Structure 1
């Protein structure tokens, strides 16, 4: 009977080669990890393991060797392997291996070595792309010494036929914004069309927010218009940043115009938007606008938060409408937005400003009944108010009450109170405050010392006149 034989497979040789490479790779890992071979013999160990299976090291084996060296901080042994790859081997090296090397060099703080490897890639039969370029830029942008190398890399990149893409510009713009070089960031965005790409909404938003932190309102408004002309509309967060800049510069009417533009652009303002403009109108003493804006919030269905209520109550106090301010505090409670210590401090400051010390004390007592403890601002408001109304001994007693609780006023308040006490003839109390200052390493100013000296001279003069009268 004739036996049947399978025809020889044309793929058998390739399968044998792949299996041999796999066995060689496993042997190499075993010797390297288990036997802890010296790192200076790593290259020869790699070659011998593959040679024993009649094969040559593949990219995966080289990748593992590089990772091993970085993981065990044996980076000094990496150059000989790269030299071997460049001058002896003929295999094409995948770009991902160089990306890993660049990133590992970055983690080790070896930015110049990362740059050298990037430029060496074509000589080791690897075509660099924007992937390896971006990896290098990310490494360089994390170190101060790396930033100085970015320009040189970008100048030489065209010679390597690496095309800059939007992702590259995003990395560069982000770094420029982080370092406060916003003019350069805007110029870079304007250069993007020359490279066949355009800024996206994310990039515009980043630069706009950075300008709001670093620049003035003129630059911010110019860029905002540029962003709108590019058919990108800022989000609520960006609009709020613009509003904040305008309010900070006292341009609250312009800020309100931006609020109106938000609504026209379909970006609905939030409570933060209104709070910032409310604050601006309050600081500008435009209480009519404060009222209108608060009503507008309610009409569009926005629920005021504590910041809203506190700003509105502050405006009412500045207008002298304390009854409305107190009613608003009750409205807060009914709305489930319990007043905080800032709310009561605003009321106390308002009453102290008009000399209603009794009312201020009532509010401070109410605050304590609600379980809120006075803070340094509460004590400061009461201290300044009592002193300004000439109630020096009450101010002194309040100061002696706050010091054991850890609330220490600034040197100016100590000195002002000392001067006031001496002026009113309360010399022992002034001495007590002086001792408290010295115990806290707070130096009295020249005015305080002069008050003490003048008081002592006056006391000596009065004593001398009295004695002279007795003798006579």
Structure 2
């Protein structure tokens, strides 16, 4: 087997030295290449001495043994078509283990006879290690590697085997029988493979170096198996990389599969850059990267969120005529979904299918999960139906993902139907599926349904976990049943389940919203006693409760405690404080808080700015409101539906109807909808400006959306239509006003 030439290594070393000076390649790769280059120069400058295989010289048979051996050999050659147990019956009483070797010497050129005779002998007693190795050598010579593999594997499967001693004896007999019984070097490949498969990696490495002493190198495919086994264990990834750098020094010439294993190992260690450069090295070492090489690096960059590098590698792949596979596309789709670019991820799916690559259930599930997480359930359902139409069978994870999405948007009927579809297909829902559906019922306040599912789950032998109990406790807290939630918490502890921070946070949140702030604080103290430490959510929940009761001093004190304990406040924490300041009209304090956030590197989000803009609109200060809006957009923070509604109502109040109308059109283009109060503000604003056409257009739009105008607007349009003689429209508007406006007010009053 050839090794890489020194000239090609020199070329690679010069190339990577140049790149490293440009800060493109890490020095570690350049030094590794230099080490290999020097090592090969050293080995080429000295002659490697190899020892010959020993001659086989078993003990000689006696004259009596010789006669018996001759009789057995002659019998099986002449009567081989008859059953061996019949033709060899006369010799059974005199047959000894030594005779097996001597008979095999006489028949070793007839492989069929060797197998039949060896099988007959094994039925009487286990063969000696010498005999086993002899037959292994013969089988390998006749290319029956499956039998050779089986004979070796069976030996190592024996119970109570002294591995160290047995390995030494096995290697000794395999080497001793090699020259005269086969001389096929594949026998050592097979033995190496058996050792690796048995997890005896240290013994495999010893065999590798022992064979070098005899001038034999284990095949690259077997070495790949060794590399692969090392790379499966995270703790041995560095060992795998070390072997990859070490083995070429003694003659192993790695192939594409070898590089792919190490590229994957580097990616798992988080060394994506090194993995990428190893793919570049492949070509310089005469090894062509394949779709697996690129896909592995692409997946690595995807996990790091480096989309531009991914797109560049995809382009490079296509230029080389390599077709991305579902694994490649799934990595990209997963990255796009993680970064919220789900629409772009769907475009990748379409491109994938246009190029003839058939997506699998993993690709579809990733995209469905992405749409569910952004709340776009209609697109998720469309993909789910498309998946089934293409005969791609959803698995339990796909169904669970879809159920989670439906539950988050309170589409409980569809979620229940999917759950029954799972059962109808013979799939067994697990704890995650049951808990997802329970969560949906809890969020919808349907606690009876949630507990019914809990009972079904237990009847099926599934054990509710901490998440299950947390979901149920959260549902109970939402309907104000704090006592039952606490009882559930104690039941969970009684079953040996340790509440986690999410469980405690659920009860803290429930107590806070019910106005039991003192109890919530006490529970937070109990958390710490139980060894569960409050996180930013715990503190933020209590701060929100204090802010809503106007106790900003206590909220500030909690923020100080958070910071003292090294707990990093989130943007939600600051939004809670911001909302507290704004609700009390303390806008200057709110602005100072925003400045402090930016100084600490905490990026405000849309909610942060919305709180400030809303209160400046209340003050009718649209100049400052607009300034905050522009500052927010300049920072790359996108306005949401709430932002637009705040601005529309603010401009209407300030009688800036042209600006309000423009914002209405802009939000419609972006898929956002006006709220009822925004419609009412716009319609009234246009009335005051005598812009009746625009007002009427908005009134009809409001009705199409199923929203309710206020009584003043209904009165205006009833009067206009009555004066114009439109009796049918007048009656229709009267009925609508009574049903939606007056009756609605009465119901709310009764509540």
TM-score higher than 0.5 here?
yes
Structure 1 residue aligned with 2:225: 174
1:96 maps to: 138
Q: Quick check: 1:40–1:77 contact (8 Å CA) kept in 2?
A: no
Q: What SS does the corresponding residue of 1:269 show, helix, strand or coil? A: coil
Equivalent positions of 1:287-302 (< 5 A) are: 287=342, 289-302=344-357
* Partner of residue 186, structure 1: 244
Partner of 1:37: 92
The residue that corresponds to 1:115 in the other structure is 171
8 Å contact kept, 1:278–1:311: yes
Q: CA deviation at 1:97?
A: 7.8
Q: Does 1:247 align with 2:247?
A: no
Aligned residues of 1:243 and 1:258 also touching (Cα < 8 A):
yes
Residue 223, structure 1, aligned to residue 278, structure 2 = yes
Determine the structure 1 residue equivalent to 2:418: 367
Pairing 1:58-69 to 2, within 5 Å after superposition = none
Say if 2:477 and 2:507, in contact at 8 Å, map to a contact too.
no
Task: Tell me the CA shift for residue 185 of structure 1.
Answer: 3.4
CA contact (8 A) 2:267 2:275 kept: yes
Q: Distance in 2 between matches of 1:204 and 1:443?
A: 45
Do the aligned residues in 2 keep the contact of 1:105 with 1:114 (CA within 8 Å)? no
Asked if the contact 1:317–1:325 (Cα under 8 Å) also holds between the matched residues in 2, the reply is yes
Q: 1:383 to 1:191 in 2, by over 3 A?
A: same
Partner of 1:285: 340
* Superposition pairs of residues 258-407 of structure 1, within 5 angstroms: 258-287=313-342, 289-328=344-383, 346=401, 349-350=404-405, 353=408, 356-357=409-410, 360-367=411-418, 376-384=431-439, 394-395=446-447, 397-406=449-458
Deviations 1:426-465 (A, max 9, x none): 47855874797589665678969999xx89xxxxxxxxxx
Q: What RMSD in Å do the two structures reach over aligned CA positions?
A: 5.3
* 2:302 matches 1:257: no
Alpha-carbon distance between aligned partners in 1 of 2:136 and 2:371, rounded to the nearest angstrom:
70
State the shift of 1:132 in Å: 4.3
Deviation at 1:34, TM superposition (A): 1.2
Q: 1:70 to 1:262 in 2, by over 3 A?
A: farther
Q: Show CA shifts across 1:379-438 (max 9, x none).
A: 433544565x5x6x5346413333224465422542564487479664785587479758
Question: 1:148 and 1:385, CA in 2 relative to 1: closer, same or farther beyond 3 A?
Answer: same
- Contact 1:239 1:262 (C-alpha < 8 Å) held by counterparts: yes
In structure 2, distance between residues paired with 1:187 and 1:337: 42
* 1:158-203 per-position Cα deviation (integer Å, ceiling 9, x unaligned): 3x4x343xx53432342233123322332245336xx4x7434454
Q: Displacement, 1:25?
A: 0.9
Gaps (5+ residues) in structure 1?
Answer: 1-19, 51-55, 86-92, 456-472
Superposed, which structure 2 residues align to 1:458-469 within 5 Å?
none
**Is contact 1:102-1:118 (8 Å) kept?**
no
Alpha-carbon separation, structure 2, partners of 1:341 and 1:129: 50
TM-score of the superposition, structure 1-length normalised? Answer: 0.63
Rounded Cα–Cα distance in structure 2 between residues aligned with 1:375 and 1:309: 21
Q: Which of residues 46, 67, 73 in structure 2 aligns to 1:25? A: 73
CA distance in 1, matches of 2:396, 2:180: 69
Q: Which runs of no fewer than 5 residues in structure 2 stay unpaired?
A: 1-67, 77-83, 142-146, 157-165, 232-238, 512-518, 521-751
Contact 1:247 1:255 (8 Å CA) reproduced:
yes
Distance 1:23 1:271 in 2: 65
Counterpart residue number, 1:17: none
